[in-house]
Amino acid sequence: MIFPIIDYPLHLYAKNDKTFDFIIKYIFLLIQNFLADPILSTFYKALTVSPDLEGQAFVSTIETIYLGRRYPIFGVQWHPEKNGFEWRVNTTIPHTKDSVEVMQYMANFFTNQARQNMNQFSSLADELKYLIYLYTPEFSDLDTSHFQQLYFFYE
């Protein structure tokens, strides 16, 4: 479960509706559509709901309902990483202690999930070919991008 202890970090959201950060609101699933779909609503549990720009409630965090499923699936329609790493001016990204704690909680959760995967590269040389450190992020045009730095992968 993403939020096994209901008091943290969801209580942070209750304190301040800006805690969960800046949400890219291009495509989202309204809560009433989620609940009306028997396949979605029996496979996934909606953990958080957020308002869009018009105030309509959409599903912002989901996880699979564990009914003998082998692999957990999690999804967020928000950017937990932005609170600690995006410092552009003229944005609504909060950098409060609470919002950074939510970001860190999500990072720790994701990392702990990844640690359960026992797959590995066959050799160190093979692993080194795929490291992100082989690429240099580029500073983006802040007027046209939602991110301060971008990676470009050329063939």
How far is it, in rounded angstroms, from Cα 63 to Cα 2? Answer: 7
**Is residue 58 a contact partner of residue 31, using CB atoms and an 8 Å limit?**
yes
How far is it, in rounded angstroms, from Cα 103 to Cα 106? Answer: 5
Question: Which residues lie below 8 Å from residue 88, measured CB to CB, with a gap of 6+?
Answer: 142, 148
Q: How far is CA 37 from CA 21, 46, 50, 71, 76, in A?
A: 28, 12, 19, 22, 19
Rounded to 5 degrees, what angle do the CA atoms 8, 63, 32 make? 100
**Is residue 58 a contact partner of residue 50, using CB atoms and an 8 Å limit?**
yes
Active-site option among 11, 79, 95, 146:
79
The verdict on whether 79 is a catalytic residue reads: yes
Active site residues: 79
